[in-house]
Copies of this chain bind each other. A is one copy, B any other.
Amino acid sequence: MNERGYQLLQDTVERLLRRHATKNLTKILNKTHPADIAHLFRLLNDRSARQLFEILPEVESAPLILSEMEPRVRIDFFHFVDLKRAAEILSDMAYDDAADLLGDLPQELRDQILALMPDKDTEEVAELLSYPEDTAGRIMTTDFLNVPETMVAHEAVHEVRKAAERENVFYLYVTDGQKRLVGVLSLRQLVTAPDDTPMSGLMTRDVVKVRVDTDQEEVARMVSRYDLLAVPVVDHADVLVGIVTVDDVIDVLKEEATEDMLKLAGTSEEEISSFSAARSAKVRSPWLLIAWIEGVIAVNIIGAFEVQFNAHLQLFAALAAFIPIINGMGGNIGTQSLSITLRGLATHRIDPKHLWRVLSKEVRVGLMLGIAYGCLLGVVGYFLKQDVMLGVVVGIAMCTNMTIAALVGTFLPILAVKLKIDPAVASGPFITTSMDILGVSLYFFTAYFLIVRLAQ
């Protein structure tokens, strides 16, 4: 559905909601694609969304709609639905989708709903929920086709045909007597095989697989690198327990890209998925506080120089006018280096082992740009204040500041990776404000040394 389609759907649904035409609404919802209804909820205002939630339990595709819906939106559903009906809907979801949804609910509500679901479903979903967030175990589905290694090709074809009635079959996973994963077979390999060949004679033994505790980012990387449609998940004894399918990998990639970009700015996904201003302010606060403290340090440093320049207050005032441009350019180039490095690390295009190669390149970039913009600023400084030394000082400050900023923006995230901490802790606010401190210190020190001290 395109934008016009959604507009039309939204208009129709809103009109029917105003008329309380529940029957017509249910009919429309039943014939619309579940993903489109899930998307529609984002377009509606709170009141309309609430009204629509009240009808949702009557819609056949409710399990699919809720699976597709964004966490922050669907959580509201549970305010309007009878818990028994909620449990029924969750039972009709794929286990991984049900686990994903329940994982976002408050513990108490989650337990109540789990208790109302059929035992078999409760067990499966609870097992998925027992794996930590962001691991393969949490996002895998336990619905997959596996065949014993002794099965022959024509029997396997029959199994595939049977399984295809229920689910998408991508690959056949072959297990041994202990349910351990021993091989994999594509449908292509299967259909071209003679009828009586056993799986063990057809399968690829070198299986790309992940463990239940593998980070979801690593899972996504595997699927993407080997162009897979699904990757098998094994437990610590190599027993096949699930598969992660490509649609879940796409969700992971989108989620991680968002996370990386927001961390860089010193905020998080939590903010984007909330409508509350207070909550957003809270999420952003920590990095802003650190930046604020660094800012106060900068105030004190400049204050200390002010005392040194007491006999040259005119000069100090002239120098002060250049603070924003020197800090700003340092911050800008630092953030550029930081983004390049973070993204390079995330996509594995920068290898932390090549630290020196990466650093030396960045330093050269910083130097080139620093010299260019430093010289330009030197000329401007001279013309504005008719003072050669002032021009020299602002030029030097700009150049050193830009070079150091490029270096720091590159080095900190790589250092973090080497220390095995999240490289995004070296976030934008931290880097730019640290560069502010270093920048003003070097700037006023250079000015003091070259102008005040040399003149004495």
User: Measuring CB to CB, which residues of chain A are less than 8 angstroms from any residue of chain B?
Assistant: 33, 35, 39, 42-43, 68, 70, 161, 164-169, 186-188, 191-192, 223-227, 229, 246-247, 249-251, 253-254, 257-258, 260-262, 264-267, 271-273, 275, 277-278, 280-281, 284-285, 287-288, 291-292, 294-296, 298-300, 302-303, 306, 309, 313-314, 316-318, 320-325, 327-329, 331-333, 335-336, 338-340, 342-344, 347-349, 351, 361-362, 364-365, 368-369, 372-373, 376-377, 380, 384, 428-429, 432-433, 436-437, 439-440
Contacts and interface: CB of A to CB of B under 8 A. Distances in A.
A343 B373 CA distance: 31
A250 B249 contact: yes
11 contacts: A39-B348, A167-B188, A264-B339, A288-B333, A291-B329, A292-B373, A292-B376, A299-B321, A299-B380, A328-B436, A332-B428
Contacts of A169: 187
A254 B376 contact: no
Contacts of A437: 324
B168 A229 contact: yes
Nearest to A376: B292
A426 B377 CA distance: 24
A260 B265 CA distance: 13
Contacts of A377: 292, 295-296
A351 B39 CA distance: 11
Contact of A432 (B264, B291, B331): B331
A335 B428 contact: yes
A303 B272 contact: no
Contacts of A298: 321, 324-325, 328
A333 B284 contact: yes
